[in-house]
Structure 1
Amino acid sequence: MTRRASLVAGALLLPLGWIAAAAGGMTGHMAGHMIAVAVAAPLIAWGLGDTRADPAARWPRLLTPMAMMLVEAAVVWGWHLPALRALADAGGPWLIVEQAMFLAAGLALWSAVLGAGRDRRAAGIGALLLTSMHMTLLGALIGLAPRPLYGHAHGLEDQQIGGVVMLMVGAASYFIGGLAMLATLLRTKGAPA
């Protein structure tokens, strides 16, 4: 996929995520989150790579893979605390803030990882694999909870499906990204820098 096609695809997917998140329920919210952070963000980051708009190229000391992994984890886990989840579930400006933070955190992480030079590729791989692990853990906690964790009226089944969405999309996106970067690193291990 060309960088331009990737950027267009990522931008076109964002409204779908916003619609899903606004539709309500844990499943819709989780689909919106995953589209923003694990599907659209890597596509946009790849599309912006090697341009003046690439965040990692503009702020290479700030946007390091491990630092952005921590920021992304704080955003994802923070918005799944019951109090913040209730704010976003109410819709309006808090839903917009939440979705914007998911996109910004995802874009920062993927930009840092994709823009990492050879000297930071291992950190990028580690950041993606650690993100896959924390997404798996949070998805499992939400999906396997024996009772509803949030006050919305959609029930336990909706919450469990939302957890599965996080497990399937979020964890898989970061895991596959980490493995792809590892394969690239192993292929170029013997090549001159």
Structure 2
Amino acid sequence: MRVLWLANGCLLLAVIWLGPLLSAWRGSVTAHMLAHMGVVAVAAPLIAIGVAPRLASCRRPVLTGLPIVASLVELLVVWGWHAPAARRLAESSLWGTALEQACFLAAGLFLWSTCLAAGSTNRSSSNAAGTFGLLLTSVHMTLLGALLALSPRTLYQFGDVTCFGTTLTAAQDQQLGAVVMLMVGAAAYLAGGVALLSGLLAEPNRRVA
């Protein structure tokens, strides 16, 4: 079953990386956000489901601390690559795009694999750390999406862009991209955190039973 999850995650990566999101529409913030969220919030957890159990054998202090570290790494990677200068680098060259996407995938896999592994253990401290890691990521993803949506000026483009055959102004494109981050990214991390939290809350009942 884990092979199926891995295959689906890899297939989604191929669709994102080889499709028009990062080629024909690379100048669009909306297309960028669709690619970004597809990598970190959909493909990464699919792949992590297959590899997370392997981390469950880590020593307790290591496994307990990793989700928090992973969430902070995700914060630095995501916020760093959404700085205007970094965004221009990713748009201007194939190597910049490849570096950006590699960072997104590495940070996403690190976060999801450690959080899911921590949540799969029988230790309350590890379960809590995995839950906190995903919920913290949902918070800073929501904050970034809100900042992009409510920014009084455009940060990345100053003219019209095309995405899915539709022409958008720079402001519309940035706002729509922010909505994608909020609806897909923040929601995915929140759902993962809530799922781990429900398991953590059910643990005392299982022990009593």
Distance 1:75 1:180, change over 3 A: same
What TM-score comes out, normalization by structure 1 length? 0.90
1:174 and 1:82 map into 2 onto residues whose CA distance is 25
What TM-score comes out, normalization by structure 2 length? 0.83
Kept in 2: contact 1:16–1:32 (CA 8 A): no
User: Equivalent residue of 1:148, what SS?
Assistant: coil
Kept in 1: contact 2:71–2:137 (CA 8 A): yes
**1:37 aligned partner:** 40
Deviating above 4 A after TM superposition, structure 1's stretches of 4 or more consecutive aligned residues are 56-60
1:59 and 1:93 map into 2 onto residues whose CA distance is 38
**1:135 aligned partner:** 141
C-alpha deviations, 1:111-144, integer Å up to 9, x for none? 1101113231101111111110111111111122
1:159 and 1:166 map into 2 onto residues whose CA distance is 11
Kept in 1: contact 2:52–2:114 (CA 8 A): no
Distance 1:152 1:103, change over 3 A: farther
Kept in 2: contact 1:147–1:156 (CA 8 A): yes
- Give, in angstroms, the shift of residue 10 of structure 1: 0.7
Name structure 1 gaps, 5 residues minimum.
none
Bigger Cα Rg: 2
In the alignment of these two chains, the number of paired residues is: 189
User: Equivalent residue of 1:149, what SS?
Assistant: coil
Matched, 1:13 2:16: no
Of 43, 46, 51, the match for 1:48: 51
Alignment of 1:1-193 (within 5 A): 2-18=1-17, 19=19, 20-22=21-23, 23-24=25-26, 25-51=28-54, 61=62, 64-116=66-118, 117=121, 118=123, 119-151=125-157, 153=159, 154=161, 155-192=170-207
AA aligned opposite 2:153: R
Query: Considering only aligned residues, what root-mean-square deviation do their CA atoms show, in Å?
Result: 2.1
1:139 and 1:16 map into 2 onto residues whose CA distance is 24
C-alpha deviations, 1:72-102, integer Å up to 9, x for none? 0000000000100100011310100000100
Name structure 2 gaps, 5 residues minimum.
162-169
User: Equivalent residue of 1:169, what SS?
Assistant: helix
Distance 1:149 1:57, change over 3 A: farther
Q: Which moved more, 1:157-166 or 1:180-189?
A: 180-189
AA aligned opposite 1:17: I
